[in-house]
Chain A
Amino acid sequence: MKIELKGRIDSNNAPQIEKEIMEQLAGQNDASVVLDASGLEYISSAGLRVILRLRKTYPELSITGVNSEVYEILDMTGFTEMMRVEKAYRVVSVEGCEEIGRGANGTIYRIDQDNVVKVYNNADALEDIQHEREVAKLALILGIPTAISYDVVKVGESYGSVFELLNARSFSKILANEPEKMDWCVKEYVALLRTIHSTAVPEGKLPDNREWFIAAVKQVMDYLPEVAGKKLLGMVEAIPRSDHMLHGDYHTKNIELQNDEVLLIDMDTLAVGDPIFELAGMFNAFIGFSEMDHQVILDFQGFDHETAETFWHKTLSAYLETNCETKIREVEDKARILGYTRMIRRSIRRGGLDTEAGRAQIDFWKERLLKLLEETDTLTFSFNELELEAVPEKLEEVQAFVDERLERADCPPKAQMQIGVAVEEIFINIASYAYAPERGTATVRVEVSEDPVTVTVTFVDHGMPYDPLAREDPNINLPAERREAGGLGIFMTKKLMDDVSYEYCDGKNILTLRKEL
């Protein structure tokens, strides 16, 4: 039984209204009475008492369509704990409002100076809104700066959630209008990204991106050559599980600068997983989507393709803490593999195969994906590992990479110099002999451990088995004319390091240098 409440209920008319309600309820056996308060503007305590008395007679009583003012009164007086009270949704129009963000599930508009509304694409979005609220709260508790919605509103046929966002500007806007702030944006953007990725999430709270990608690859596999498809699936499955947080849609429209604080918004894609999944999404946002048509990025982010490329490259460099192009390229290629996979899947699901333009786009991505799949064997990356061609010309890159890691560890200049000498000896050795006359790759890994602070540099190659330590040390007491030219490099390395060890394992030469700082 539904009863409408209208206008005001106060001490003047409460008795009359109560009488009318009782008349409507007389002879009704229906135990569930619903008060429709959508026309109710105000209620005084006299009105509250009418509701309370009804509640005593009808324990299932509920109130719907309650406006904010009335809701506040009901909440303050404990009525919301006593019966089901449903708030009315304020109606908000976003016509003519500035669009400040757009994500997979909705679009964010600024409705006034202090507030923004996220309008969900899904018309029946109340569950999505609830989900986003919960994950945003979780993120906030875990230390991620974000905004939490304080109201749900009706926007046309869909729902929106309202956030307070005072004087905020997105990073996209800053990049578009103040190019001189590029480096500052990169710094803040990467700092927040690292915070997100270093946040462990309690189990079961957020979806696992790995699962999502495995399912996505299975959908895309049908459209790829069998060998390539299997390789891709194997590579994604080989990515270890991780309980670390990912934003899921980390591009510059979702980062807001509010006063001096950097805030993350659009939290509904929050997940856990390996950071490569995040980098894949970032690649798409800055490069992938607009790779074929550069106008796309300008329309979406407000800055041009060149700015996007620079920002993306600087971001990767800062995130990986390296200027080593080989390293940046390595990680970018892995991100591109997952990025193209994701875009192909998306396009296919949206009927891309049915239109000529769609097919052209899918072919464009597919061509790049297949090429990358030939060149790449894993999708994981490590911050302290560099894989590159073992040729003497690459020495400079190796040394720069090792130096970057040593500087991060506050390595004293002398030790850094000594390690540099040892790295040179070992890398040149590998580059000169390991694969000769063929070519191959080497991996250099730098690890710093505590107590005592120790640097370990490991070299791995797949060349012919060779133990440089097996060679007898040169006799340095001999006069110059009788000394041999070779063997001095290894000898020096042994002298400069605290420990040098070699093993041959699974077809790999593994040489390890250890130096206590």
Chain B
Amino acid sequence: MIDLHMHTIVSDGTDTPEEIIARVREAGIGLFSVTDHDAVKGAKRILSVRTAEDPAFLTGVEFSCRDEEGKYHILGYGYDPDAEPIRRVVDLGHGYRMNKVKARLDFLSTQFGFQFPEKDLQALFALDNPGKPHIGNLMVKHGYAKTKEEAIRDYIDKLRFRSEYVRPEEAIEGILGSGGIPVLAHPVYGSGGQLILGDEMDKRLRRLTDFGLQGVEAFYSGFTAKLRAQMLAFAAQYGLYVTAGSDYHGSNKLVSLGDTGLGDPNEWPEGLKRFLTDVKA
């Protein structure tokens, strides 16, 4: 069994890198990758703590990208985590994210008068990946909202702004430049909330493969057989690698490790076999 898409506490998962290794082993997964949002720290950590008895591992990352045409999650596999190109993408994303957090905090302060102690703010900015949930938690802690969901819905989301994002070609170039393979995550769902099918998907893939995209995550815990079949057809049409991931987030999501929809290894598509041969462990 393989599972190439999961998150640790470095982004929005609930398992530490150490815990996730134990769980992967327990689940009987033979090859795994940790793909935290816009961060390579989780993957680096796994590299440094795993032992020879642990399941095989691929470095991974999931970049949130956006351009005029839409939003994308782009996975990178088998890259060198110390390479300059991928570090630049991570820093770029991190910088944008920090700007966004600052803009949100300013908004909450001027619009609603919500103030937070300096100590909490420092802890917030020290996070690798601070975002809406973290600000929401702070609001609950200080009595500005009853729940994190209420905080996001009634306050944080009242600010609508065009923030800066890593562009897909920047992510793809960073991954390729560091020896990795760029793969489009859960393609049908875009960045998570969309439904991209048929012609729209075709257009999207034509565009991203022009940038250097090399694979699609055709096996995904949230795909039905119909969606999977559609992605496999696209992979064959574009000659792309095929990958499989659950998008496990620990207790933050009801997905279990290894839930990818991938069946008997004898029936694995050619694109997946090729990926496993070509990717650098």
Q: Which residues of A contact B (CB under 8 A)?
A: 10-13, 15-16, 18, 22, 44-46, 48-50, 52-53, 56-57, 73, 76-79, 81-82
Considering the chains assembled together, what is the distance between the CA atoms of A76 and B157 in angstroms? 30
Q: Say which residue of B190, B227, B252 sits within 8 Å of A77 (CB atoms).
A: B227
Given A81-B224, A82-B224, the answer on whether A46 and B193 have CB atoms closer than 8 Å is yes
Query: B190 — nearest CB in chain A belongs to which residue?
Result: A45
Which 6 pairs of residues, A with B, have the shortest CB-CB distance? A78-B226, A78-B224, A11-B193, A49-B222, A45-B189, A53-B254
Best-surrounded residue of B153, B224, B252, B255 (most CB of chain A within 10 A)? B224
B192 contacts A45, C-beta separation under 8 Å: yes
How long is the Cα–Cα vector from A304 to B189 in the complex, in angstroms?
63
Closest chain-A Cβ to B224's Cβ sits at a distance in Å of 3
Check B255–A44 contact: CB distance below 8 A: no
Question: Pick the contact of B226 from A44, A49, A73, A81 — CB < 8 Å?
Answer: A81
Chain A contacts of B190 at CB under 8 A?
45
Report A-chain residues with C-beta under 8 Å of the C-beta of B224: 52, 77-79, 81-82
Q: Is there an interface contact between B193 and A13, defined as CB atoms closer than 8 Å?
A: no
Complex Cα–Cα for A53 and B197 (A): 21
Known contacts A12-B153, A13-B153, A78-B225: A45-B259 contact under CB 8 Å: no
Closest residue of A by beta carbon distance from B195: A45
Given contacts A16-B149, A48-B222, A52-B222, are A73 and B193 in contact (CB under 8 A)? no
Instruction: List residues 130-155 of chain B with CB under 8 A from any CB of chain A.
Output: 147, 149, 152-153
Instruction: Considering the complex, give the chain B residue whose CB is closest to the CB of A82.
Output: B224
Bound complex: CA A82 to CA B197 (Å): 19
**Would you call B188 an interface residue if the criterion is a C-beta within 8 Å of the partner chain's C-beta atoms?**
yes
Contact of B109 with A by CB under 8 A: no
| Residues in chain B near residue A10, CB distance under 8 A | 193
B194: CB under 8 A from chain A? yes
Which residues on B sit within 8 Å (CB–CB) of A12?
A: 152-153, 157
Q: Which of B238-278 contact A (CB under 8 A)?
A: 252-255, 259
Range of interface residues on chain B?
20 to 34
In the complex formed, the residue of B with least CB distance to A48 is B222
Interfacial chain A residues near B227, Cβ < 8 Å: 77-78
Cβ of A270 to closest chain B Cβ, rounded Å: 34
B226 touches A77 (CB 8 A): yes
Q: Which residues of B contact A18 (CB under 8 A)?
A: 254
Question: Could you list some 25 contacts between A and B, CB below 8 A?
Answer: A11-B193, A12-B152, A12-B153, A12-B157, A13-B153, A16-B149, A44-B193, A44-B195, A45-B190, A45-B192, A45-B193, A49-B189, A50-B254, A52-B222, A53-B254, A53-B255, A56-B259, A76-B197, A77-B195, A77-B197, A77-B224, A77-B226, A77-B227, A81-B225, A82-B225
Q: Is chain A's binding surface mostly helix, strand, loop or mixed? A: helix
B254 with A22: CB separation less than 8 A: yes
Interface residues of B in 149-184 (CB under 8 A from A): 149, 152-153, 157
Which residues of chain B (63-114) have a CB below 8 Å from chain A?
Answer: none
Q: Which residue of B lies closest to A54 (CB)?
A: B254
Chain A residues near B188 (CB, 8 Å)? 45, 77
Chain B 207-245 near chain A by CB (<8 Å), digits 1 or 0: 000000000000001101111000000000000000000
B194 touches A15 (CB 8 A): no
Chain B residues near A22 (CB, 8 Å)? 254
Contact B153 A15 (CB under 8 A): no
Given contact pairs A12-B157, A79-B224, enumerate 9 new A-B contacts (beta carbons under 8 Å).
Answer: A11-B193, A13-B153, A15-B149, A45-B188, A45-B189, A48-B222, A52-B224, A77-B224, A78-B224
Query: Is there contact, CB below 8 Å, between B252 and A76?
Result: no
**Quick check: A11 and B197 within 8 Å, CB to CB?**
no
Cβ–Cβ < 8 Å partners of A48 in chain B: 222
Q: Which residue of B has the minimal Cβ distance to A17?
A: B149
User: In the assembled complex, how far is the CB of residue A44 from the closest CB belonging to chain B, in whole angstroms?
Assistant: 5
How many Å from the CB of A68 to the closest CB on chain B? 16
Cα distance A15–B222 in the bound complex, in angstroms: 14
CA–CA, A305 to B249, complex, Å? 77
Residue of B at shortest CB range from A14? Answer: B193
Nearest Cβ distance between residue B249 and chain A, in whole angstroms?
Answer: 10
C-alpha spacing A76/B196, complex, angstroms: 11
Partner of B252, one of A15, A50, A78, A82: A15
Q: Are B149 and A13 in contact (CB under 8 A)?
A: yes
* B192/A11 in contact, CB under 8 A: yes
Instruction: Find chain A residues with CB under 8 A from B225 CB.
Output: 78, 81-82
In angstroms, Cα B54 to Cα A170, docked, is 77
State in angstroms the CA–CA spacing of A81 and B226 once bound together: 9
Give A49 to B222 CA distance when docked, in angstroms: 5
Bound CA–CA A16/B222 (angstroms): 18
Known A-B contacts A77-B224, A77-B227, A81-B225; A15 and B195 likewise in contact (beta carbons under 8 Å)? no
Q: In whole angstroms, how far apart are the Cα atoms of A12 and B254 in the complex? A: 16
Which residues of chain A are within 8 angstroms of B197 by Cβ–Cβ distance? 76-77
Report the minimal beta-carbon distance from A160 to chain B, rounded to whole angstroms.
31
Most B Cβ at <10 Å: residue of A48, A50, A77, A82: A77
Asked if residues B226 and A45 are in contact (CB atoms below 8 Å), the reply is no
Which residues on the A side are within 8 Å of B157 (C-beta)?
Answer: 12
Residues of A within 8 A of B153 (CB): 12-13
* Distance in angstroms between the alpha carbons of A13 and B153 in the assembled complex: 8
Q: Is the CB of A44 within 8 A of B194?
A: yes
CB-defined contacts of A44 to chain B, threshold 8 Å:
193-195
- Residues on B with C-beta less than 8 A from A78 are 224-227
- Give the distance in Å from the alpha carbon of A68 to the alpha carbon of B80 in the complex: 49
User: Measured between alpha carbons, how far is A11 from B133 in the docked complex, in Å?
Assistant: 13
CA distance A374 to B255 in the complex (A): 82
**Chain B proximity of A298: nearest CB distance (Å):** 54
CB distance from A314 to the nearest CB of B (A): 53
